[in-house]
Structure 1
Amino acid sequence: MRRQGWIVAILAAIGLWFFISIEPVLMPFFVSMVLAYLGDPLADRLEERGLSRRLAVSVVFLLLILVISLSLVLVIPVLGRQLGQFIESIPAILGWVQSTVVPHVRSATGLDLSTDFDQMRQTLVDNWKETGTLAATLLAKVSKSGMALVAMIGNLALIPVVTFYLLLDWDDLVAKVRSVLPRRWEPTVARLAAECDEVLSSFLRGQLIVMLCLGVIYAIGLTLLGVRFGLLIGLLSGLASIVPYLGVIVGISVAGLVAFFQSGELWMLVGVAAVFGFGQFVESIVLQPKLLGDKIGLHPVAVIFAVLAGGQLFGFTGVLLALPVAAMVMVVLRYLHDRYKNSSLYDAERSVSDEESP
């Protein structure tokens, strides 16, 4: 038994080393896995209605392509334009803070922040300039390097191809993985996999829909209110909602500052609060009960740590894998916790009493 455990540990270490070694080429495959996982339930439902697997996958695949294409055509250009306008307005915002906010702080607290703010303002402006220069330099290098450009295009082109074939054979792949498990481990692994799937489906499918709905509500509300960069702030606030309450805190702070800087009128701040209040109302009354319930179990601190740790260790691929891996680790830790609570290490007296009982 101990020898088998060592063999499993060594194989796991070799597998981890292998994946770390080929990390640069894994991104399109992991993106495809996420898309296939999200689309498989819809394909299964279409199969139940009488469609063949290939036809059901084709319908789901076309829907995914349509949603992504509409996002790229309609949303990305507007976001890029608003982001550029926001970057250009940073010096004016900093100047307004220096001329308006800093004197009020000095009169209220006696602290003179003008010198420190001058240095901070100059540092921020310089960093924005350096960021633009770095981006231009990187773009120029990628454009000049034919191999890098071909590799980037190839990775992007792989995503729809791999997604289609993973969707097509998803159920068969799951069945084959289950069939090769050791028979003694198979029931436990299958039960843990079912729990992982429940958590992942609730978090990935449910939380993504919640984030998207909140982003749309915030973006439409701020845009109708006339707040500059409303689409950008709204969608980023929806994205930040992956951590409970972070999206509304960040969004209402940034949108409130932009609205006040834009008009200086109190009713704009009331309107911003009303937009985010309506979003929170919809989330608590409709989105959370219908889409998430109480199945997630991921603490907000665990979500933040998982995303930061995944990005630090494996870059963009790590960010993609952070939350699914965190959800699976949580399920395994819960299983190990239950095993520990029932072991003699936790309660030696209960173990002795069990042995003494006939």
Structure 2
Amino acid sequence: MTLTPAQRQTLSWLLIAAAALAIVWALAPVLMPFLLGASLAYALHPAVERMAARRVPRVLAVSLVVLAAVLGVLALALLVVPILAKELPLLKEQIPLLADRLNQHLSPWLAQFGINVSLDVAGIKAMVLQGLDGNLEDWIAAALSSARIGGSILLALLGNAVLVPAVLFYLLLDWPQLTARSLSLVPPRHRPQVDAFLAECDAVLGQYLRGQALVMLILAVYYALALAVAGFELALPVGVFTGLAIFIPYLGFGLGLVLALLAGVLQFAGWYGVAAVAVVYGIGQLLESFVLTPRLVGERIGLPPLAVIFALLACGHLFGFVGVLIALPLSAVALVAGRRVTAAYLGSGLYRP
């Protein structure tokens, strides 16, 4: 079978794309900090360009933007510290009491259906004391011992904590040159189509980022105020963390829900804490799913829920936690490409009868 020049060119591009995907998949652990740095650079470069347009030296503008990003990430991480500092001691005291309470109320109810369940309160108490009774020095010693033995996870986290800001800094510093060199690699006859495609992708991603930022801000205020009205002592850190963690679809909401349930169970007696969390987070989920995300994000991207779930699972499998972060932006780019391919197919002779 003899291929035409156009078919050979298409086949060559497909082989190059397949090889690139294979390399990315094989080097996913190594590429994670670079992908995260590139994603942050894309999101933050408009701020650098605005500062540079006002004659702020580019090195200074990039340094300020990177410093603000690092401080923002640290502030988000530090939101969890008061939660753990407050709840871990209570957890050690309350878990045996909760197990005993479940034995008193749940076991008789299950016995009516022929299910005999009895929790080993003494064993649960011993396990909790063993896991949570260590002091800070013991935990630090255990972490250092893990690192010496070959704790690759800890070392990888420390390495990424240094590497991601460095990648972000250099990408922002050279962003105009990098984009210009990348575009120069495109054959001149294809540049109008590529420019139009990239412009549409940039518009979709810009709308996504702006919409997602508004959703996060509104939900952070809502959860913090709603939990405060319900009487939660940790309303501010739990509420703000939940709102900001919404950026990670499903996982962020689930983590915030777990922290709120833990705070409610440990602070309040009976079922008030659980009921309050159910009401607050139920309303919050309805507000996000049916009002905020459709109006501020969903309508602009146009991805159905099943496509979002598939994108999260696929990107998470390929790139881990970073893949979950970049799943929706990549899906937006794929959506733009899919629209163009569909339009080309419908206008071609293959579709016409």
CA contact (8 A) 2:48 2:62 kept: yes
CA displacement at 1:4 relative to structure 2? 1.0
CA contact (8 A) 1:260 1:268 kept: no
1:299–1:97: structure 2 CA closer, same or farther, 3 Å change rule?
farther
Tell me the equivalent position of 1:262. 268
1:214 is aligned to 2:216: no
Aligned residues: CA RMSD: 4.5
Q: 1:270, 1:76 → 2: CA distance?
A: 21
1:293–1:6: structure 2 CA closer, same or farther, 3 Å change rule?
closer
1:96–1:11: structure 2 CA closer, same or farther, 3 Å change rule?
same
1:17–1:335: structure 2 CA closer, same or farther, 3 Å change rule?
same
How many residues matched? 337
CA displacement 1:277-300 (0-9 Å, x = unmatched): 5897699888975x5483121223
Q: 1:264, 1:146 → 2: CA distance?
A: 41
Q: 2:47, 2:308 → 1: CA distance?
A: 27
Tell me the equivalent position of 1:167. 172
Q: 1:70, 1:113 → 2: CA distance?
A: 47
Q: Structure 2 regions of 5+ residues with no counterpart? A: 1-5, 134-138
Q: 1:154, 1:267 → 2: CA distance?
A: 40
Q: 1:217, 1:342 → 2: CA distance?
A: 48
CA displacement 1:217-256 (0-9 Å, x = unmatched): 3135314533366457535643357659x949x8499659
TM-score, structure 2 as length reference = 0.74
Tell me the equivalent position of 1:356. none
Q: 1:196, 1:217 → 2: CA distance?
A: 31
Tell me the equivalent position of 2:314. 309
SS in structure 1 at match of 2:301? coil
Task: Please point out which of 28, 43, 53 is paired with 2:33.
Answer: 28
1:138–1:19: structure 2 CA closer, same or farther, 3 Å change rule?
farther
CA displacement at 1:86 relative to structure 2? 7.8
Tell me the equivalent position of 1:37. 42
Match runs of 1:24-173 below 5 Å: 24-72=29-77, 74-81=78-85, 84=88, 88=92, 89=94, 92-93=97-98, 95-100=100-105, 103=108, 111-115=113-117, 140-145=145-150, 152-173=157-178
Match runs of 1:318-337 below 5 Å: 318-337=323-342
Q: 1:205, 1:140 → 2: CA distance?
A: 43
Identity of aligned residues (%): 32
Tell me the equivalent position of 1:180. 185
CA contact (8 A) 1:222 1:275 kept: no
CA contact (8 A) 1:211 1:241 kept: yes
Which letter does structure 2 place at the counterpart of 1:300?
P
Which letter does structure 2 place at the counterpart of 1:14?
A
Q: 1:159, 1:285 → 2: CA distance?
A: 34
Q: Structure 1 regions of 5+ residues with no counterpart? A: 349-358
TM-score, structure 1 as length reference = 0.73
CA contact (8 A) 2:234 2:263 kept: no
1:209–1:33: structure 2 CA closer, same or farther, 3 Å change rule?
farther
1:137–1:284: structure 2 CA closer, same or farther, 3 Å change rule?
same
